Structures are given as C-alpha cells and as structure tokens.
C-alpha cells in the first residue's frame, strides 16, 4: 500500500452523500490523523454551505442524484477552484461539469471552475485495500489538485489511472472484480467442503491462498509464471488445470467481464 502524507494543515474536507462508501473513506481519513484532533460538522440540508466551507469535496451520493446536487444555485461558486472527487459510478466528468456550468455555457465563469476527478473505489477500501480506478478528469487540472485527490485516495488503498474509454472495463475489473474473486473463493470452498474440509477452515484457507497468489503477482511476478511454478507436468495441479482449460473457464471469465463492462457503459 502506498505511504500517505499528512493532508495540509487546517484542511477541510466536505463529503456530500456520506453513505457506505464515503463513511469508509471518512473512517480512514480520521484514522490517519492519529492523535490529532479533528472537528467534524454535520451540515444538514445545505450542500452548498458544506462545499463553501470546505477546501475539497467528495461527492458520494447515488449516481442519479449528482446532477441535481450540483445544479443547486450557488454550488458552482462554492466549488470554485476546489477539488471535487466524484465517486459516482457511471457518471462522467462532462456530465458533472454540465450540471455545474451549463447555464454559463460559452460565457467565461466569473469564478474559476472546480477540478473534478472521477474515482471509483472497491469494497476492499474498508481494509485500506481498494484499487481505486481514476478515470475522467477536468481539463487543465492543476498538479496540486491532482496530488490532493491522490492523497485522499491513498487513505483507502492504491489507485490506477485509466483513459476515459477504459473506465467501464476498469470498473468491471476492479469494482465488480471483488465480487468475481469472492465468488471464486466461494466455489473453491464449496469444493473443499465436498472433500470433507470444515467450511470455516476451508474459507480461511481458500482466502489466504488467494491472498498469497495475489501477493506474488502484486510483487511483480507474472501470473503465468506463478501458475507454471506450481504445476509439474503430469502432476496433480496439471490435472486440475486441464479440467479448467477444457471447461473454457477463461473464455467464460472474458464473457462475464464483457457483460459487466457493457452494463456499466449502458
Ligand atoms: N459501495 C461501493 O462499493 C461503491 C464503490 C464504488 C463507487 N460507489 C459509488 O459511491 C456512491 C455512493 O454509494 P454508496 O454505496 O455509499 O451509497 P449509499 O450508502 O446509499 O450512500 C449514498 C448517500 O448519499 C446520501 N444522499 C442522497 N441524496 C443526497 C443529497 N441530495 N444530498 C446529500 N446527500 C445525499 C444518502 O443519504 P440518504 O440515505 O439519507 O438518502 C446516502 O447517505 C454511488 O454513486 C456509487 O456509484 C460505491
């Protein structure tokens, strides 16, 4: 996990839509403060006021509510020159900018625009293990705003930059991928239970085996090399892998990832 640097002294973060996803972020932002005292304020029914008082804003409401929240009079001024970190799945930066600035289309805004970053974490954020997909960004994003956004995201794990047209596939891989890998663990556990291993122990063993394989790959080993290292020709692992290859599991995984990607794009 990347090391975090302290957020700027006196920095104020507003979270609009503090549900499951944002709560986890908040928990880790506060956790990283250690013994430093950090006042928390709840602003009820006035998102503009919350944005006005903040140095940066996280938007984590339901995707369909984002535009409505940003269209409220005073919001574009409250966000002027600030970082807006959007966690809204499937909502592009262009859509958010249209909501904020459509009225002034063509006109030069009297105050600076905000700097929007689209960032989609996954549920492993709860353990600071999210691989957050960072896609769309406002044009002319200042380095400091981007660095601040990354620093906030480091509180919940690592992040990866992708191009706008890769965002749907990357979200399928990283956000939905958590469900796919958990589903595979479930399948391994069921199979192990059928072989007589007690379920809770099988779950722990399967999960740690997956984490171990992941650790090897994360540390730079090629997954195909890891597979080859475990597989003696004609041996037991080779027998099982042959079943997987024969069942076209790789092709099925590709179809599943594609189906999720298309749904995210739709
Ligand atoms: N959960 C994940 O794993 C995950 C992963 C990646 C991205 N995301 C994205 O994160 C966002 C939030 O997901 P979530 O799972 O955290 O949802 P959630 O728990 O339902 O949180 C949404 C929050 O937004 C609040 N809200 C609704 N309308 C609002 C308004 N007008 N002003 C201020 N707050 C408002 C809701 O309050 P009320 O409950 O009072 O309505 C709720 O607390 C979504 O856009 C989702 O695409 C989630």
DSSP string, 148-194: HHHHHHGGGEEEEE--GGGHHHHHIIIIIHHHHHHHHHHHHHHHHHH
CATH architecture group of domain 171-265: Orthogonal Bundle (1.10)
Integer Cα distance of 86 and 59 in angstroms: 5
pLDDT value of position 230: 96
Q: Quick check: 172 pLDDT over 60?
A: yes
CB of residue 20 inside a 6 A radius of ligand 1? yes
Helix ranges (H only) for the chain are: 20-31, 47-53, 66-71, 75-78, 93-101, 143-153, 167-171, 177-194, 199-218, 223-230, 236-246, 249-265
Q: In what order do the strands lie in the sheet with 115-120?
A: 13-16, 56-59, 83-86, 115-120, 130-137, 157-161
Q: Residue 265: its pLDDT value, please?
A: 87
Residue 78 to residues 47, 55, 147, Cα–Cα distance (Å): 9, 10, 21
- Residue 148 · residue 83 · CB < 8 Å: yes
Question: From the CB of 47, is ligand 1 less than 6 Å away?
Answer: yes
What are the φ and ψ backbone dihedral angles of 85, each rounded to 5 degrees?
-95, 110
Backbone angles phi, psi at 117, to 5 degrees: -125, 130
- Nearest-CA residue for ligand 1 atom 39 is 19
Boundaries of every domain in the chain: 13-161, 171-265
31-49 core/surface letters (b: 16 or more CB in 10 A; e: else): ebeeeeeeeeeebeeebbe
Q: pLDDT-based confidence at 102, cuts 50/70/90?
A: confident
Confidence of residue 194 (pLDDT cuts 50, 70, 90): very high
Residue of the CA atom closest to atom 21 of ligand 1? 19
Which residue has the least CA distance to atom 28 on ligand 1? 61
User: Using an 8 Å Cβ cutoff, are 49 and 43 in contact?
Assistant: yes
Q: Which of 79, 128, 124 is nearest to 100 (CA)?
A: 79
Is residue 47 a known part of a binding site?
Answer: yes
Q: Does pLDDT of 90 surpass 90?
A: no
Domain 13-161 has CATH 3.40.50.720: yes
Q: pLDDT tens-digit profile of 14-50? A: 999 989 999 999 999 988 887 777 888 888 899 999 9
Beta bridge partners of 83: 56, 115
Q: Do domains 13-161 and 171-265 have the same CATH topology?
A: no
**Closest residue to atom 3 of ligand 1, CA basis:** 123
* Pocket lining: 88 vs ligand 1, CB cutoff 6 Å: yes
Q: In this predicted structure, which of 42-46, 150-154, 230-234 has the lowest mean pLDDT?
A: 42-46
* Mean pLDDT value across the chain: 93
> What is the pLDDT at residue 105?
53
**Which has the higher per-residue pLDDT, 81 or 40?**
81
Q: Would the CB of 87 count as within 6 Å of ligand 1?
A: yes
What percentage of residues in the chain have a pLDDT greater than 90? 80
Residue 251 Cα, ligand 1 centroid: separation in angstroms?
Answer: 34
Whole-model pTM? 0.91
Alpha carbons within 13 A on the beta-carbon side of 231: 14
Spatial CA neighbour of 150 closest among 83, 240, 89: 83
Q: What is the pLDDT of residue 69?
A: 97
The dihedral over CA atoms of 162, 185, 3, 31, expressed in degrees to the nearest 10, equals: 110
């Amino acid at each position: 996990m990347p090391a975090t640097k302290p957020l700027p002294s006196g920095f104020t973060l507003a979270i609009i839509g503090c549900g499951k996803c944002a709560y986890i972020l908040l928990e880790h932002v506060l956790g990283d403060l250690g013994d430093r005292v950090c006042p928390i304020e709840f602003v009820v029914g006035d998102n503009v006021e919350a944005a006005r008082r903040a140095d940066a804003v996280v938007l984590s409401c339901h995707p369909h509510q984002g535009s409505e929240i940003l269209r409220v009079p005073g919001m574009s001024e409250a966000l002027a020159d600030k970082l807006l970190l959007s966690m809204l799945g499937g909502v592009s930066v262009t859509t958010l900018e249209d909501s904020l600035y459509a009225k002034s289309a063509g006109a030069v805004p009297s105050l600076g625009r905000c700097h929007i970053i689209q960032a989609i974490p996954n549920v492993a954020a709860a353990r600071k293990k999210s691989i957050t997909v960072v896609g769309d960004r406002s044009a002319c994003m200042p380095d400091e705003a981007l660095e601040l956004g990354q620093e906030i995201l480091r509180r919940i794990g690592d992040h990866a930059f992708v191009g706008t047209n890769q965002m749907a596939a990357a979200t399928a891989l990283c956000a939905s991928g958590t469900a796919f890998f958990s589903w595979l663990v479930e399948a391994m556990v069921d199979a192990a239970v059928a072989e007589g291993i007690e379920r809770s122990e099988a779950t722990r063993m399967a999960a740690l085996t997956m984490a171990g394989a992941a650790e090897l790959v994360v540390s730079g080993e090629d997954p195909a090399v890891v597979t080859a290292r475990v597989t003696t020709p004609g041996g037991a692992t080779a027998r099982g892998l042959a079943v997987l290859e024969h069942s076209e599991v790789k092709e099925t995984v590709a179809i599943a990832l594609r189906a999720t990607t298309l749904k995210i794009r739709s």
